Amino acid sequence: MKHGKYRFIAGFLVLPLAIYAIFVISPFLQAIYYSFTDWTGLSPDLQVVGFDNYARLFKDEVFWAAVGNSVTLLLLLPVVTLSLGLFFAFMLNVGGRRRKKAVIGGVRGSGAYKILYFFPQVLSVPIVALLFQFAYNPESGALNAFFQAIGLDSVQPDWLGDPQLALWCVMAAMVWANVGFYVVLFSAGMSSIPKDFYEAALLDGANRFNTFFRITLPLLWDTVQTGWIYMGILALDVSAFAFVQIMSVGPGGPDYSTEVLPLYVYQKTFRDGQAGYATAIGVSLLIVTLIFSGIVMRLGRRERLEF
């Protein structure tokens, strides 16, 4: 029996583990090793160069531009997206007309709003990024055409072509793509908060604004924290890469104003043939990610409220 059990365990684990080890674990470990070499990626020759790649990072202005932009996204994207998500979810759940039986209630048609808001979540990043790229097109895009239509002929920004605006344009698309998910997520959380809590607070003279900060937010904190980490990773990694690579001029431009760390890793490897240096950039991205997760976890460590 015991023998059979271990054979079963091994049999079930061997294939998933092998695939995972070959395609995920080993590349990660190799990446850390390569970051200490001068590997080009074009030929198998390489030499271990110690911390040279990391020393080079300090003098690389593009790298620091990428760090700046990635950190900007990391700080702002989760806050903006989650705030909008919380705001709309609160409006959906508490903004309704008072009904006979309950002190607070959802707005009419909240189900329809949620279905609609979730649309961007099921679309791929290229679809969203291309849509926004057209909308931002300075000559024929929907935005500038709209400004013209309402008589603001002089306001015709260059959007993605303007170094001052480009990163914000990309970020707006990312916010647009993600808010709906959090509206639905927070809405589910809010509807499980007992109505008595609101009733008691309103009876004690609190207004709805207060109930949000005193009741809703504390009780949702766990979900908010999870969302924060999701959004942070999204702002640093795959999603940021895809949005910037598709939308921006260059990509990464104009003037490195939208250069982000994952894109720079990609460019250094596949455009410039500096795979060793690229992995050093990747490792610094890993470090930023770990610091971020650590901070959010620590911030979130508070008493868990049961209800």
Partner 1 sequence: MSAQTDPADLPGVTKEQGPPGGAASRVPGPRAGRGGTDGAAGRNGGGEGRVLNVFSHGVLVIWGLLVTMPLLWAVVSSFKDDTEIFGSPWSLPSVLHFDNWARAWDKANMGQYFLNSLIVVGGSLIGTMLLGSMAAYVLARFDFPGNRFLYFLFVGGMGFPVILALVPLFFVMKNMALLDSYHGLILVYIAYSLPFTVFFLSGFFRTLPTSVAEAALIDGASHTRTFFQVMLPMAKPGLISVGIFNFLGQWNQYLLPTVLNVGDPDKKMLTQGLVALAVSQGYKGDWSGLFAGLTIAMLPVLAAYIIFQRQVVAGLTAGALK
Residues 191-250 that bind partner 1 (CB under 8 A): 195-196, 199, 202-203, 205, 207-208, 223, 226-227, 229-230, 233, 236-238, 241-242, 245-246
Q: Which of 230, 198, 200 is nearest to 213 (CA)?
A: 198
Q: Which two tokens stand for residue 178?
A: 């993600």
Q: Indicate the residue type of 210.
A: N
Interface residue with partner 1, options 72, 83, 121, 156 (CB under 8 A) = 121
Q: What share of the chain is helix, strand, coil (3-state, %, to 5)?
A: 70, 0, 30
Binding mask 38-77 for partner 1 (x = CB under 8 A): ---x------------------------------------
- The answer to the question of residue 150 lying near partner 1 (CB under 8 A) is no
- The answer to the question of residue 267 lying near partner 1 (CB under 8 A) is no
Contact 79, 170 (CB under 8 A): no
Q: Which of 259, 267, 282 is nearest to 54 (CA)?
A: 282
In the complex with partner 1, the residue whose CB is nearer, 25 or 75, is 25
Q: Shortest Cβ distance from residue 259 to partner 1 (Å)?
A: 14
- The answer to the question of residue 168 lying near partner 1 (CB under 8 A) is no
In the complex with partner 1, the residue whose CB is nearer, 100 or 301, is 100
Burial pattern 215-239, b for ≥16 Cβ within 10 A else e, equals bbeebbbebbbebbbbbbbbbbbeb
Phi/psi at 94 (5° precision): -120, -15
Contact 104, 95 (CB under 8 A): no
Cα–Cα distance list, 127 to 133, 248, 275 (Å): 10, 14, 30
Q: Could you tell me how many residues of this chain bind partner 1 (CB under 8 A)?
A: 112
Kindly indicate which of the ranges 59-67, 161-169, 263-271, 298-306 contains the residues binding partner 1, using the contact rule CB under 8 A. Answer: 263-271
Kindly indicate which of the ranges 54-62, 75-83, 163-171, 179-187 contains the residues binding partner 1, using the contact rule CB under 8 A. Answer: 179-187
Handedness of CA 120, 124, 127, 130 (dihedral sign): positive
Interface residue with partner 1, options 36, 63, 113, 159 (CB under 8 A) = 113
Q: Shortest Cβ distance from residue 183 to partner 1 (Å)?
A: 8
Contacts of partner 1 in 275-294 (CB under 8 A):
275, 278-279, 282-283, 285-286, 289, 293
Interface residue with partner 1, options 176, 197, 212, 221 (CB under 8 A) = 176
In the complex with partner 1, the residue whose CB is nearer, 5 or 304, is 5
Cα–Cα distance list, 123 to 89, 118, 178 (Å): 21, 10, 11
- The answer to the question of residue 306 lying near partner 1 (CB under 8 A) is no
**DSSP class of 71:** H
Q: Shortest Cβ distance from residue 269 to partner 1 (Å)?
A: 5
Q: What's the rounded Cα separation, in Å, for the pair 178 and 99?
A: 32
